[in-house]
Amino acid sequence: MTSTETTDPTPGLDAFASPDSPTGVVLMLHGGKERSQQVVDGRSASWRRSAAMARRVAERADGAGAAVRLLRYRRRGWNAGAPVEDARWALAEVRRELGDLPVVLLGHSMGARTAVHVADDPLVRGVVALAPWFPRDEPVRALAGRTLLAAHGSRDKITSARATRAFVERARAAGADATFVDMGPVGHYMFRRIEAWNTTATDAALALLRDA
C-alpha cells in the first residue's frame, strides 16, 4: 500500500522487549503532524525516531520485567483525534496479549497528546511525555489519579515548553501527580542530548511500573 492510497489502513503494534514473565508494559506512542492522511509505515521519520528510543528503553526494560510495545498509527496526522482510537486499540491488544498488567504510556510530541487522552484506561498508571504537543485548553480530566512527567527543551520551535508547563499545572489541579522536567537548550526532535532523553524516558517509565 502506498501513502497516497485512500483505503483505510490498520494500526500496528511492534514488540521491542518481551520478558518471559512480564510485570508491566511500556506502550510507546510516536509523533506526527496536525493534519496528514499519509499512511504510517517503517519509513516514517516519527515512527523511526520512537523505534530508536524503544530499542534503548528495551535494553533496561527486559531485565526489569517490562514489555515494550510501539504503536504504529494508521495515518500520520492528528486529524481531529484519530490517533486516540489507535491508542485505545493498542491498549486492548496489550490486554489481550499480556493480561491486566500495569501500563505506562511513553509518548513523543503528538504521541504525548494521544497518551493524555487515553490515560483513563484502567491499565494505565501514568504518562511520560517527551516534547509534548499540548494545545491550550487540552483536556486534563483523563489524568486524574495518574502520574504525568512532561519533559521539554527550551529551544523547541515545534511545540511549546511554556504550554507544557501550563498543562502540567492544570493536570495537577485536576488530581494528577504532575511534574515538569526542563531538558535544557534542546529542540523538538531529540537529536541533541540523545542519551539524556533516553535516560529520562527509561528512568521515568520503569519507576512508574515499580511503583505500580
From CA 61, how far away is CA 204, in angstroms rounded? 11
The DSSP-derived string for 118-176 is HTTSTTEEEEEEES----TT---GGGTTSEEEEEE-TT-SSS-HHHHHHHHHHHHHTT-
| Sole residue written with cell 509505515 | 41
Where exactly are the structural domains of the chain?
27-211
List, for residues 3-28, the tens digit of each pLDDT value. Answer: 444 578 999 999 999 999 999 999 99
How far is it, in rounded angstroms, from Cα 134 to Cα 55?
26
| Residue 173 pLDDT exceeds 50 | yes
Asked if 48 contacts 13 with a C-beta cutoff of 8 angstroms, the reply is no
Q: What pLDDT score does 8 carry?
A: 80
Largest CA distance in the chain: 45
The string of pLDDT tens digits covering residues 115-150 is: 999 999 999 999 999 999 999 999 999 999 999 999
Indicate the burial class of 173 (C-beta count within 10 angstroms; 0-12, 13-18, 19 or more).
Answer: exposed
Q: How far apart are CA 133 and CA 117, in angstroms?
A: 12
Helix (H/G/I), strand (E/B), else coil: 60:
helix
Q: In what order do the strands lie in the sheet with 103-108?
A: 12-17, 66-72, 24-29, 103-108, 124-130, 147-152, 177-182
Please, what is the average pLDDT of the chain? 95
What letter represents residue 94's amino acid?
V
For the entire predicted model, the pTM comes to: 0.95
What residues does 69 pair with on adjacent strands? 15, 27
Does the pLDDT at position 88 exceed 70? Answer: yes
Enumerate residues 6+ apart whose C-beta is below 8 A from 81. 117
Question: For domain 27-211, which architecture applies?
Answer: 3-Layer(aba) Sandwich (3.40)
Q: How confident is the model at residue 212 (pLDDT cuts 50, 70, 90)?
A: confident
